[in-house]
């Protein structure tokens, strides 16, 4: 009887452990467009054990006449779709950068001033069975000089 009880208990533990999903809370990814403006490398951490609120930080760049460094930061929320690996990804970000009149505003105002771009985002995110994450987002950029439409494409690894 003791062996049968132990066998049933172990079977129950094994079944329950396989039934729970192992949600990986960390992502590292490359992003074209999006919060980094042209290209960036980002780290994202989900702050909850299930898809929900997350925080991201990255480093990016853009070039025209010179090389400009960008630092995108933001928060996002993952809304689970019917497929457990698909999400609506909504967020709000800020990207610290230096003004470049040809890209972000009037060339007359290009004086090396540092400023912040505010970048809301809404998109579709997919997690694959091989721990790959990809995302496509609408990410309009707003700053004190302009507002313009922008897109972001991301691909990376979950861990």
- Residue 82 is assigned to a structural domain of this protein: yes
Give the list of residues 6+ apart from residue 45 with CB closer than 8 angstroms, or none. 25, 26, 27, 54, 55, 56
Residue-range definition of the domain harbouring residue 116? 24-158
- Residue 9 is assigned to a structural domain of this protein: no
pLDDT at 25: 93
- Residue 84 is assigned to a structural domain of this protein: yes
Q: Could you tell me the CATH number of the domain that includes residue 135?
A: 2.40.160.20
- Residue 18 is assigned to a structural domain of this protein: no
- Residue 85 is assigned to a structural domain of this protein: yes
pLDDT at 7: 55
For the chain, the domain total comes to 1
- Residue 15 is assigned to a structural domain of this protein: no
- What's the chain's Rg over C-alpha atoms? 21
Q: What is the mean pLDDT of residues 72-86?
A: 93
- Residue 92 is assigned to a structural domain of this protein: yes
Q: What's the pTM?
A: 0.76
């Amino acid at each position: 009887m003791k062996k049968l009880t132990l066998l049933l208990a172990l079977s129950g533990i094994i079944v329950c452990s396989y039934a729970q999903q192992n949600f990986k809370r960390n992502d590292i990814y490359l992003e074209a467009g999006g919060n980094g403006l042209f290209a960036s490398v980002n780290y994202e951490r989900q702050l909850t054990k299930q898809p929900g609120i997350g925080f991201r930080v990255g480093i990016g760049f853009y070039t025209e006449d010179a090389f400009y460094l960008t630092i995108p930061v933001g928060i996002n929320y993952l809304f689970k779709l019917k497929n457990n690996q698909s999400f609506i990804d909504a967020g709000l970000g800020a990207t610290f950068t230096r003004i470049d009149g040809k890209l972000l505003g009037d060339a007359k105002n290009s004086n090396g001033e540092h400023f912040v771009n505010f970048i809301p985002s809404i998109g579709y995110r997919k997690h694959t069975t091989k721990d790959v994450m990809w995302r496509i987002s609408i990410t309009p950029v707003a700053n004190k000089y302009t507002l313009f439409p922008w897109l972001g494409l991301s691909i990376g690894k979950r861990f």
